[in-house]
Amino acid sequence: MPESRLKFWTLRAVLILVIVFMLSPILIVVINSFNASQFSAWPPEGFTLDWYRRVLDNPAFRRGAWNSLQVGVLSTLLVLILGTPIAYALARIRMRGLAAFRAVLFAPLVVPRVAIGFALFVLFIVLARPLYGSFAGVVLAHSILMLPFVVAILTASFGEVDPIVEEAARDLGASPLQAFRLAVLPQIKGALLVSGIFAFITSFDEVETTIFIVRPDVNTLPVEMYLFLEQYQDPTLAALSTLLIVFTFAVILIVPFVVRGNALLKMMGSGR
Amino acid sequence: MSGATATPLAAPLAAPGRVLPRWVRLALLIGPGFFLIVLPFFGAMVMLGTYSLNLRDANGMGMGLSLWMDFASDGFNWSVLWNSVRIAGISTILSVALAYPVAAALLRVRSRAFLAFAYIALFSPLLMSMVSRAYGWLLLLSDNGFVNQTLGLLFGIDPIRLVFNETGVIIAIVHVVLPYAVLPILNTMTQVPPVYREAALDLGASGWTVFRRVTLPLTLPGVIVAAEIIFALSASAFVTPSLLGGGRVLTLSQLVYENIGMIEWGMAAVQAIVLLVTALAVLFVLERVNRATHAARES
């Protein structure tokens, strides 16, 4: 391709600068989690593991982490259990009015998370008081945010499963549920896993909706972190952030072990 | 069982008899999710609208537009709305301006290892908690942080104020949204056949002309999609402006949060709706631009 070297290297330079820009917050957080300076002084004043000890000793962070794990697992399961049949219906059933349902389903994507959080706060206070400040309320909020993503990924995945497989299973005497479980489910396993992990990570990092509907004893970890950072700038948060980055990486690395790389790429292409 | 002895030809005919009517299946499949998740969301949005129509002094009795009048007549609300729109607008322009050359550069990377590294680096913000990212930027940009200390050591200059103002908020927002800008732009760029550019170059067009007349128009849909996503994300951002602004950069989303603390729920409802309508209005405008460019290209 006749293209000037100048243009090529300018583009390459922009790319490298942007890569540095993108990585810099992660790097500084990880480095400062070992920085002995109380005030995160730069350059670092020495090496310490003290901040990690403080994270583990902090009761608010421990309770928040446990709350976030429970909320993350529960809302991911709920969204997968309710979202899979919806995605199946959208992929397989042609019917008037379904387009309207689809629009309704994806509406939470365009509503600012703060607005969703406040609207749920009002709904809970006025019509469902026990949900305010409860696990069930937070699980519902996270499910609302994640359902559109999960349904989008799963609908694309169902679209790639040939309906003939299921019909064959039915002709061979399987009940509709058996046919689904034996002939269809194995083929969308990867998409279920990817959307599940995506949903869990979204839930685990959610602040902007959650903060409106929690009470201190059900505060999730990111909400605790937000409230902490509003008041202190102490390297305890650097240590906690580093632990969370490692945790997120660990969750994401499950995927390649369970799904073969090839299938994963295909799903990422169809999932967006 | 006569079905078992039926000829293969008869089997497909038998199948519909075992299936429930279509609308029953549909209700069973989408009903639970609809009632447990979709309906509460709509209930909440209806409550939001109702709350914004409450009369300020009537203890919830009676409906009216008085809260909306209050919102519109208070210049403070307008200046905060303008803050949100300005920050989102600048972040959108900067992100797209960075994402475009980044996407073009990614297309030219030959080494698979470097490409993998570049992708991981570009998408690394998504692996990091929103609060952690804000904290990272506070560490980098504060007066005694990495950037100012390095500048001081190299050039002996006084710290530049980079946090607790709009600069810091915009830097951190661009960092968060950039991955969402790169993807759609990269997507449209890969769909432009290289022969188009080569043909234009062979016909004697300069590099700049080829970009302006061929590459840019063909990749514009990706740019518009990127702008839509980024504007919506940055106009409604709450954690990033709140932490990096340190209370000195007020956006509409922060007003909503503050007002519920002050039990001004009606006003918070009005502000939340204004936030939503602003995001939708910009989506609508960009979508019109998108259609117009499509139409112009096809004519």
Q: How confident is the model at residue A267 (pLDDT cuts 50, 70, 90)?
A: low
pLDDT by residue (tens digit) across A3-46?
Answer: 678 888 888 899 999 999 999 999 999 998 888 787 777 777 77
What whole-number distance in Å separates Cα of residue B29 and Cα of residue A70?
26
Decide if A225 and B283 are in contact by the 8 Å CB cutoff: no
pLDDT tens digits for range B13-61:
444 445 678 788 888 888 898 898 889 999 999 988 888 887 765 555 6
Residue B275 lies in a domain: yes
Q: Nearest C-alpha of chain A: how many angstroms from B216?
A: 16
Are B283 and B178 part of one and the same domain?
yes
**Is B60 inside a domain boundary?**
no
CA dist B285 and B112 (Å) reads: 39
Contacts of A148 (CB under 8 A, 6+ apart): A105, A106, A108, A109
Note if the bond before B184 is cis, omega within 30 degrees: no
Q: What is the pLDDT of residue B196?
A: 81
Residue A222, Cβ neighbours under 10 Å: how many? 24
Q: Which of B47, B122, B275 sits opposite A126 (nearest CB)?
A: B47
With CA atoms as reference, the chain A residue closest to B194 would be A1
Same domain, B150 and B24: no
What is the average pLDDT score of chain A? 85
CA distance, residue A197 to nearest chain B CA (Å)? 12
Using the predicted structure, report yes or no on whether residue A170 has a pLDDT greater than 50. yes
Please, what are the averages of pLDDT over each run of 10 residues along chain B (299 residues)? 43 51 83 89 89 68 77 87 93 94 89 88 86 91 85 84 90 92 88 82 80 83 88 89 88 87 83 90 85 73
User: Per-domain residue ranges for chain A?
Assistant: 54-271
Residue B192 lies in a domain: yes
- Domain around B218: 74-298
Judgement on whether residues B1 and B143 belong to the same structural domain of the protein: no
| Integer Cα distance of A106 and A128 in angstroms | 24
Q: Are residues B147 and B284 in the same domain?
A: yes
CB-based contacts of A199: which residues, under 8 Å, 6+ apart?
A75, A76, A79, A80, A142, A146, A149, A150
User: Residue A221 corresponds to which amino acid?
Assistant: L
- Residue B135 and residue B19 share a domain: no
User: Does the distance separating the beta carbons of A26 and B124 come in below 8 Å?
Assistant: yes
In terms of domains, do B257 and B125 share one? yes
Same domain, B91 and B171: yes
| In a domain? residue B66 | no
Output the domain CATH number for residue B140: 1.10.3720.10
The CA R_g of chain B, rounded to the nearest whole Å, is: 26
For residue A206, what are the CA distances in angstroms to A71, A101, A223, B42, B130?
Answer: 11, 26, 8, 20, 8
The answer to whether position B277 is within a domain reads: yes
Please provide the DSSP assignment of A4-17 as one string: -HHHHHHHHHHHHH
Query: Is position B63 within any domain?
Result: no
Decide if B118 and A15 are in contact by the 8 Å CB cutoff: yes
Counting the structural domains of chain B, the total is 2
B144/A123 touch (CB, cutoff 8 Å), yes or no: no
- Asked whether residue B238 is assigned to any structural domain, the reply reads yes
Decide if B44 and A229 are in contact by the 8 Å CB cutoff: no
Q: Do A140 and B37 touch (CB under 8 A)?
A: yes
Domain match, B188 and B130 both: yes
d(CA B173, CA B13): 58
State the nearest Cα–Cα gap between A11 and chain B, in angstroms: 5
Q: Count CB-CB contacts under 10 A for residue B156.
A: 7
- What's residue A265's pLDDT? 54
CA distance B72 to chain A (A): 19
What's the whole-number mean pLDDT along residues A237-262? 78
Residue pair A37/A44 in contact (Cβ under 8 Å)? The answer is yes
pLDDT at position A166: 84
Q: How far apart are CA A81 and CA A77, in angstroms?
A: 6
Q: Is B107 exposed, middle or buried (0-12, 13-18, 19+ CB in 10 A)?
A: middle
Res. A272: pLDDT tops 60: no
Q: Which of B14, B51, B207 sits opposite A122 (nearest CB)?
A: B51
Whether residues B49 and B190 fall in one domain? no
Buried b (16+ CB within 10 A) or exposed e, B199-219: ebbeeebebeebbeebbeebb
Under the banding of pLDDT at 50, 70 and 90, the label for residue A271 is very low
| B134 and B222 within one domain | yes
pLDDT digits 0-9 by tens, B82-106? 999 999 999 999 999 999 999 989 9
Which residue type is seen at B62? Answer: G
pLDDT digits (tens, 9 = 90+) for A182-237: 888 888 888 888 889 889 988 988 988 999 888 887 888 999 999 988 888 788 88
Asked, for residue B64, whether it belongs to a domain, the answer is no
CATH superfamily of A54-271: MetI-like (1.10.3720.10)
